[in-house]
A and B are shown apart, each in its own frame.
Chain A
C-alpha cells in the first residue's frame, strides 16, 4: 500500500536522526562542552557556537508537555484521520519533540502523561519515532 503522508526531508543535519530511528534509536545532538542537548539538528551548538557536538542516544522517556488535535485537512494521507492528535514531548534530557501518540487505548490524552518512544516503520526506508503511554 502506498504511504501518502509527508515523509521526512532529511538533510545533512537531520539525516542521522532519521538514520538512528531506522535502527531503533532516538538520537539528539549534545554540546560536548556544556553537555546541553539541542534540537532540531543544527550545524553548531547554540551554547558554544562551534561544531564540537556529538550524536547521543536518548532514553526515549519523557512526558507530554502539551498537545493539540488537528481538525483541518492540511496534508494528503492525514485527510482520513482527522481529527488526530499531535503531542509535544518533553524528554528527560531536556529535548522537546513534536510527535504522534500511539497505543493510547481508552486513556485520555493529558498534559503530564509519562510516555516512551516506539519506532514505527512507515515505509521500507523511513521509520518515525512515536510515543506511547509509559507503564
Chain B
C-alpha cells in the first residue's frame, strides 16, 4: 500500500456559524454565505483570498452567484451528514496536492423552515410502515440490546451529558437541564428510541476556511492542523438497518487514523461524535476502540463523556442532540474553538491539544485535529 502523506498538510484557520433556529426570512444559501462571512473574518482574510469551494447541502451554481465567489476549484456534496467528514478530507487532499490553496467549506440548512421531515417518504419498506433514519437506528439499537445487554438507560447517560454541555453553550438550542428520568419518560418516537435520543432539526449555516500551513502563519488566529484521517465505506446493507453497527468498517478506520496522525488514543483530549441518534455514540466508541464491542453502554455511564468528569469529554457544544443538528459541521467548529482555547472557561477541555471526530455511518470515518504541530 502506498504511503499516506497528508499529515499536517492542511490547517483550519477560520470557522463561522449562524444562530441555529427558525429563519424563514432567509434560506440555506443565505445562511451558508452568512456563516462563510463570519469564517472569513475569523481567519482575517478576504473573499479574494479563497481559491476553492466545497459545499454541502447547497446548490453550487446558486451559491456561487449569491456569494459572488467564483473560483477555479468547486466541489458540491450531497445532503447527508457523512459529507461533513468527506468535505474536510477532500479539502485537505486538495490543499496538499496543490489543487487549491485556501478553501471555503460551506454548509447551509433551511430544513426547519421548510418543515423537513426525515420519514414518511416513499421507500421499499413503506408498505409495512417502516420509514425514517431514526427507525433504522432503533432497529440497530434493539439488536445491540439483545446482543450485548445494552439498555435505553445507557442512552440516557449520553443525552444527559450532552445536555449538560449545551447548558454551557449559549449557541445551543436546548437550554434546560434533563435527568435520566426525563429521558426515560420522554415519548417513544420509535421504540426503543425516545424523543431525547433524536437530533434537533434547525435552520443554520456553518463554514470553515482551510489552507496550507505556510499560509496559515499569516492569519489572524493560530492554526488547527488536520493531522490524520481515515475512511471506510460500507453500503452493503444500504437498504436495511445494518446488522453490524458498521463495526468492521470502523475497526479498519481505527487501524489507520492514529498512525496517520502520528498519535495514539492517549494523546486525544476529547471527542466529537456524529450523534444523529444517541446509539451512534456507542457504535462510534466501540468501533474506534475506546471500549470493547458491547461495552459502550457501560462506558458512557456516570458522566464518562462529560467535561470535568470523563477522560474524553465528548460533544462539548451539546452536539446534535442538544446544540443543533448541523450534520457534523458545527462539531468541527466546536473542536477548533476548543483547540484555540476560545470557549468559556467552564466549557474548555483542559490542556486541549488534540481532538478526534468520529462518524459511525455507512461512511465510517475519523479525523484527528490538533493545535501543536
Contacts and interface: CB of A to CB of B under 8 A. Distances in A.
B236 A46 contact: yes
Contact of B191 (A71, A74, A81): A71
Chain B interface size, as a band, is 20 to 34
Given A74-B131, A83-B188, A84-B129, A111 B146 contact: yes
B191 A69 contact: yes
Given A9-B122, A83-B188, A88-B240, A68 B135 contact: yes
A111 B145 CA distance: 10
B46 interface: no
A121 to B, nearest CB: 13
Interface stretch (A25-33, A50-58, A93-101): A93-101
Interface string A41-53: 0000010000000
A35 interface: no
B130 A86 contact: yes
B101 to A, nearest CB: 40
Interface residues of A, number: 35
B69 interface: no
A126 B127 CA distance: 10
B146 A70 contact: no
Contacts of A114: none
A68 B192 contact: yes
Contacts of B120: 74-75
A46 B132 CA distance: 25
B130 A98 contact: yes
A108 to B, nearest CB: 13
B125 to A, nearest CB: 4
Contacts of B241: 66, 88
Given A68-B191, A88-B241, A98-B240, A75 B142 contact: no
B190 A68 contact: yes
Nearest to B189: A72
A111 to B, nearest CB: 4
B132 A40 contact: no
A8 interface: yes
A65 B191 CA distance: 15
18 contacts: A5-B127, A9-B122, A65-B143, A66-B139, A67-B139, A68-B192, A69-B190, A70-B135, A71-B190, A72-B132, A74-B129, A83-B188, A86-B130, A98-B130, A98-B139, A111-B142, A111-B146, A130-B128
Interface of B: 117, 119-120, 122, 124-132, 135, 138-140, 142-143, 146, 187-192, 236, 239-241, 243
